[in-house]
Amino acid sequence: MELEEMKNTWNLLNRRLDEDKLLKESLIREIIQRKADRVINKLINYDIFSVVTLLLLIPLMVYCYFWFGGKFVTWDIYIIYGIIICLSGIAWYAFKIQTMMKVDLSKQINENIYHINRYNICVRREKLFANFVFGPVFVFLAICMFIEMKARFDLWVFLICMVALASLTTYWTYKRIYDKNITSILRSFNEIKELEEKE
Per-residue model confidence (pLDDT) at position 22? 63
Per-residue model confidence (pLDDT) at position 49? 96
Query: Which pairs with CB-CB distance under 8 Å and at least 24 residues apart come from 17-26?
Result: 25/195, 25/198, 25/199
Q: CA torsion 172→175→180→183, rounded to 10°?
A: 160
pTM of the model: 0.81
Mean pLDDT, 10 residues at a time, over the chain (199 residues)? 64 65 70 86 94 95 84 88 95 95 86 92 93 90 90 92 93 89 88 73
* Domain residue limits, the chain: 39-198
Candidates 119, 106, 96; CA nearest to 183 is: 119
